[in-house]
A = this chain, B = another copy of it.
Amino acid sequence: FTSGGSEANILGMYLLRKVTGKKYVIAPKTAHFSFVKAENLGIIKLKFAEVDERLRVDPDSVESLIDNSTAGIIGVAVNTDAGTIDPIEELNELAHAYDLYVYVDAALGGLLLPFMKVLGREIPKFDFSLERVAAIGVDPHKFGLVPPPAGMFLFRKNFSDNIAFDAPYYLGNRQYTIVSTRPAWPPVAFWAVIKALGRRGFVRLTEKCLRMTSYARKRIEEEGFEVPIEPETIIVNIKVDNPRKVAMELKRKYRISVGISKKLSSLRLVIMPHVNEKAIDRLLEALNKLLDKR
């Protein structure tokens, strides 16, 4: 267990460096800012690969960046800006061909995509069934319904000696995380959620989120706003000029919090299980008032 996706992503970078002894990691241009944190901290160096019009990484661009200083490739299973999924299977093939490893940032998608698959959506593989996937980050404090801090850093067991930290004054004298003292309740809470919801409960939640995503998309367009990228999972964007300013005014005047995407010049809605029609309608009403007045 980690504090969340950032800690997991940074540990993933640490794993790629330690296992290969190399320093360069190839990341999609759309990768989460925590990978830049890992670079700033000095853990790895990043080379950024191009993405397609749906912000999915382009495997040809990734391949063109591979050289003998490459430690691995980052794939994102549900990216932060557009909610699309990198072609992890193709990254896995590249990793196989060049003897590299893949780290998958599934903070957002790890507890969503498997249930979308059950619902009949076509979901590409992104997990340990791909042999070059060395580690995956998944956040139970997103679709696992656990309050933060609740992240997971999953890694293949054969790497464990490489990435353990000594913790001499604890009885379990090894750690696999950056944070040392941490609350004990997040794994317990996650276990309780799993027991309470079961697979069926997670599928139902996922269905609700997808339904709300469709609803949001429909309503946004009804109100005359542009959705810059057709939603593939549970992120819907609303194109606006100066999204940071709009988001700040939404917060100040209407106490509504939305994210933003600089890349898409948009407000960024992440449709989590608590989002309902009313919340979406309220946002659009506020947005209309705000933009009319300007």
Contacts and interface: CB of A to CB of B under 8 A. Distances in A.
Nearest to A141: B181
9 contacts: A3-B149, A6-B178, A6-B179, A7-B178, A10-B178, A37-B178, A42-B42, A42-B43, A148-B181
A14 B43 CA distance: 11
A33 B81 contact: no
Interface of A: 3-7, 10, 14, 17, 33-34, 36-37, 40-43, 80-81, 139, 141, 147-149, 165-171, 173, 178-183, 244, 247-248, 251, 259-262, 268
Contacts of A170: 259
A246 to B, nearest CB: 11
A3 B179 contact: yes
A260 B173 CA distance: 11
A173 B247 CA distance: 12
A30 to B, nearest CB: 11
B268 A181 contact: no
Contacts of A179: 3-4, 6-7, 149, 179
A251 to B, nearest CB: 7
Contact of A181 (B4, B14, B247): B4
A268 B169 CA distance: 9
B43 A166 contact: no
Given A42-B17, A171-B244, A166 B36 contact: yes
Contacts of A148: 181-183
B260 A182 contact: no
Nearest to A260: B169
Contacts of A36: 165-166
Contacts of A17: 42
Contact of A248 (B171, B183, B244): B171
Q: Which of A5, A37, A169 has the most CB of B within 10 A?
A: A169
